[in-house]
Structure 1
Amino acid sequence: MILDIFFPNRCIHCNRIIEANLLVCNLCFEQIHFTYYHYFEDNFVKEKCKLLFPIENAFALMQFEKENLSRKIIHELKYKSRENVGKILADWTTERLDFKNEKPDLLVSVPLHPKKLKERGYNQLHLFTETLSNFYKIPFSHDLIKRNHYSKAQALKDKKHRIETENIFSITQKISGKHILLIDDVFTTGNTLSTVAWEILKAGNNKVSVLVMAMDE
């Protein structure tokens, strides 16, 4: 296409010209710090979640260190209007995550407040979740959880505000006896995931597992 000639897709890290469906070049891909966590085994995400709520299993795709490439990837997804990054991250996830014969019943993404959704134009978790749903043949819901209050991004909050527990989420429909895989972008303090998880657990005899794009250690 003409646009590809005059405005070629470039690696977000080194600026090399790359294929239109890629995010980084092969050389920079090697610099991404994948976690190599196993979903069914104890790992750093699961241990952190255990301190906050009852959890079954957990998985994080990448490490979210201060200056590493995964941080740049997440920022491209959330703040640079590159919703397609969600599909790329989902493809990387499917190459590394095996549910075996114990798939969750439902994939649930953490919601944005309608005001934030309007500002951003999309929820950065939706395409990611839908791609996983299609690959693993697990249904998803983007509206099981409702965010009741508008708040600024976790990355822009100071530590005091991030650890405050607010009742900002609610369940929109009756659900019981389900194993929910709760999906978010970055695990920081775990406060957001904990708040959502407790709403799911209180709603009925449910179980919760967690999947995040990146883990901030």
Structure 2
Amino acid sequence: MIRKHMFLDLFFPNRCLHCNMIIDADFLTCTLCFEKIQFTHFDYFGENILKEICKTLFPIENAYALLQFEKESVSQKIIHELKYKSREKTGHIIANWITKRIDFKNEKPDLIASIPLHKKKLKERGYNQLHLFAETLSEFYSIPFDHEIITKVHYSKAQALKDKKHRLKTENIFSANKNISGKHILLVDDVFTTGNTMSAAVWEILTMGNNKVSILVMAIDK
């Protein structure tokens, strides 16, 4: 196994996804390009633009986005590396960035859940880009995770490939799989755009029972 990794590092070295410089296998960018990443510096427990938007869509406890998602930015490249270039371990790296910024203290959620992919999309991509991300957070914070609370029943093309008009058509795209009640659920996703997909998922969770929801996303596109 060690020889295999040495071979891959020698002939297929890991490169900074922004400037293409050869970097350590566990990094996404070089040191200089890391400084160009647009972190939001949100306070998970405080007020921020994401929480304000969510309040207009559904009942919310806390809301947090790690990155500012902008066209041609380093943050966009990071998310696209995860979603469209089969680099699932990017989710693990992003989760580690979050663990350095959020301390749940005595207000830990009871459960971590992720926005599901439709089974056809899952087959096409080969993995759900949120699973390793959620599982890394789960292990660090000692919060159980469940990827099967809700199911996506409506197949659609990637949000990044839609125009704004079609992004709004998200009604009835999820269905509940379990009867969970009286829990504070941390729902995670990659990019928050219009908020309609997140809203549909949150309302499905809320209808299960007397639940509370907080959301955590990798990036906000606002």
TM-score (norm 1): 0.98
Aligned-residue Cα RMSD (Å) equals 0.7
Deviation of the 1:170 alpha carbon: 0.9
CA deviation profile, 1:10-64 (whole Å, cap 9, x unmatched): 1001111111111101110000000100111010110010010000001100000
Larger deviation: 94-103 or 179-188? 94-103
Name the CA distance, whole Å, in 2 between partners of 1:104 and 1:131: 15
- From 77, 84, 95, give the equivalent of 2:82: 77
- From 141, 146, 149, give the equivalent of 2:151: 146
Name the CA distance, whole Å, in 2 between partners of 1:83 and 1:2: 21
- From 157, 163, 170, give the equivalent of 2:162: 157
Instruction: Give 3-state SS (helix, strand or coil) of 2:64's partner.
Output: strand
Report the equivalent of 2:44.
Answer: 39
Report the equivalent of 2:123.
Answer: 118
Name the CA distance, whole Å, in 2 between partners of 1:154 and 1:131: 25
> Are 2:178 and 2:208, in contact at CA under 8 Å, matched by a contact in 1?
no
Partner amino acid for 1:86? G
TM-score (norm 2): 0.96
- From 119, 122, 134, give the equivalent of 1:129: 134
Percent of pairs with identical residues:
71
Deviating beyond 3 angstroms after TM superposition, the runs of 4 or more aligned structure 1 residues are none
Name the CA distance, whole Å, in 1 between partners of 2:162 and 2:20: 31
- From 191, 195, 205, give the equivalent of 2:196: 191
Deviation of the 1:2 alpha carbon: 1.8
Name the CA distance, whole Å, in 1 between partners of 2:56 and 2:76: 25
- From 106, 109, 113, give the equivalent of 2:111: 106
Instruction: Give 3-state SS (helix, strand or coil) of 1:183's partner.
Output: strand
Deviation of the 1:143 alpha carbon: 0.6
Partner amino acid for 2:161? L
Deviation of the 1:165 alpha carbon: 3.6
Larger deviation: 31-40 or 1-10? 1-10
In structure 1, list runs of 5 or more residues that go unmatched: none
Deviation of the 1:67 alpha carbon: 2.1
- Pairing 1:169–2:174 present: yes
- Pairing 1:26–2:31 present: yes
Report the equivalent of 2:3.
Answer: none
Instruction: Give 3-state SS (helix, strand or coil) of 1:185's partner.
Output: strand
Partner amino acid for 2:127? Y
In structure 2, list runs of 5 or more residues that go unmatched: 1-5
